[in-house]
Each structure stands twice: as structure tokens, then as C-alpha cells.
Structure 1
Amino acid sequence: MDWKAIDPTKLEYIMTPAIAGNPGSHYVCFVVNFKSHKFEFLNSLTGGGEKLQLPNGEPSLYKQMFDVWLNEVEAFVTELYKLWKIKMPFQFTTFNWDTPKAPTQVDSDNCGVFCMKFLDEWGGEMQSFKGWSKLRKHGDNGKIAKIMDLRIDLCSAILTNSSNSRKEQVLKDAT
């Protein structure tokens, strides 16, 4: 994609997955939401509402990571507005932090699946997680079965995507 072709006035949000921990062991999502002027943090371990500062006032690991990524996003968006010769209608310093409610994973292994679905469905109704809080953990219609369905959906989307150079071979092997 030619980033110079991006009209900054049409940006709704920019988001990215990030792996956290030492060594990296947990996927989370960071979002810059231009419509609501918020920085949003999605974490399937906590389900939202977490503090991004430690009790001593220092920023948490997640906040430190987000600040690094945010510097890059701010530079990118600023350059887009300059390129289009448009005055930026906002300042990142006025954006608020939010840790919106998010579905919570039932184990320690599926943060990547949750992160990919958050990225895929953000800004919509998160259809993949409709009724999530009402599901039991186990059973034919439980959360673990639903996670397996999400894994299959993600693998299928990746394997059959037009940017997959081996898509035709995958489809041939599947039939």
C-alpha cells in the first residue's frame, strides 16, 4: 500500500498487536481511536478496566510499550497531514486513555487468538464474542469449543487470503 495515498481525514483508528512480558509471552492490542480521541488498550487476560500506572505512579510495562508505539503513530499521522497540506484537527496530548471491556480468555494459551479477533472486529460488534460471558468453559457450545472455532476461522482466512502466495496450492490440497 502506498501510504501517501492515505487521506488522514478518513482515519478512524490505527491499531496494532504487541507482545509483552520478559520474555515476550502475552499478546495485547493497542488502538489510537481518532473518532473518540482515545488511546485504547485491549487485554484478554484482564478483560479491561486495568490501570496503566503502577501504585508508585510509574507507567506499567503496557503503558511504556504503548508510548513507544504512539511516538511512531504520531510521527506517521503528522507526516500524512503535512503531505496533504491539512492542519491536524487534534493533538494527541488531548486524547484520553481507555481500557474498554473485552472478552476474557479462559486459559493462558489463547491471547494471540483473542488479539487477532480484536484486530479483525474492532469498531464493530465483536460478533465472534457475542454471548461470550454466558458460555460455560467446557461443553459442545462452551468457550473452549468456541476458541477452537475461532482458531479454525483465522487459519482459514490466512491460508485463503489473496496475499498468500501459496493459496492455490492450499486450496488444491484441501479439495
Structure 2
Amino acid sequence: METIEMSHDIPAWAKQRVIPGDHSFVEVRRLQGQGRTQIQLPDLKALKVWAKSHGWPTPWFGFKKALLDKLFESNETYTLALNESGITIHIPITEHTLTIARLKELDAWYEERDDTGVLGSRPTGWGRLVNELRKIRHLVEGGIPVRVEGTQTVLNTWESFYRWAHGRYHMLEDGYDSWIGDDLS
């Protein structure tokens, strides 16, 4: 099985499988054009046999591109492929809520200190916090709005995420070796 990944790395739990009838062809095609789909192809030899039996193009070079072009050509070809070819498509969930319980956990990691007395009070939960904030950032970058429960805050751009994260966890940027944005290339 071969997978054509989304352009943004989002966790598996933030993806949903596309089922014809449950998800609009137009919407899935739009997401595909934005690089926001994950497409799993079955064995390519078997897929070529299937495509050929349905009159789809099966060039020696560029087969995957030709296949996807045909798949997204119309609602009929899309439905046929998803129902019969073994191709599966995943798209991002429509939104995520950062619950109050999860916020309390993140806040606890931010406040967690090792009070050894030798070097004073040192943070011990910041590594976990930075990793979790990156996951939230990846959702936002992947086009998934993140609602912060108990507030009117919706994180839907890098800037809104950064303002929120920096406002809530401001010491991280200057006080920790790793930051929520330093994994960007």
C-alpha cells in the first residue's frame, strides 16, 4: 500500500475517512487541490488492472497522477473509485476543541517545577508542553480551526495560534531551549 500524504502533518486522530455520500465530492476535490487529503492506494499493479478494466488511463509513467486526475474528474468517477478500487481518502476533521480539562493539563505542565534548591525552581514539564503546543499548531496549519473551550477564542491561523500560545505561556519562548515554532523549516 502506498500513501500520498497531506502537505501538513496532522495527527491520525484529526483525520476522517471519506465515505461517498457522507462527504461532498466538491469539498473533497477542493481539499485535494489544497494538499489537505491523505490518499492510500492499494497495490499499484492491482490498481492498474482495476483502472484498465474501467477504461481509465494507465500510462507507464505518471500513472498515479493520471489516476488521481480521473478520480477527481467527476462525482461518478470519485464514487466508483472509492467504492470499488481499494483507494481510501482521509481528510482533516472540521474542527477541534481544546477542552478545559486539556488546558488545565497544559497549564500544569507550564507551572510544574523541580524545587531542588541548587539552581532554584526549574521547569520540568515544558518539554511535554512544547510538544503538545506543536500538535495544536499543526492542526491550525492543516486548516483545522481549534476552539478554546470556555472562551470565544478560535485559533485558525499561525498568527492567532502564536498570539494565544505566547500570551498564555510567555516564559517558554525565552526560557526553554525548544519552542513551538522552531521545528519549521
Based on CA coordinates, which of the two structures has the bigger radius of gyration?
A: 2
TM-score bin (small chain): under 0.3
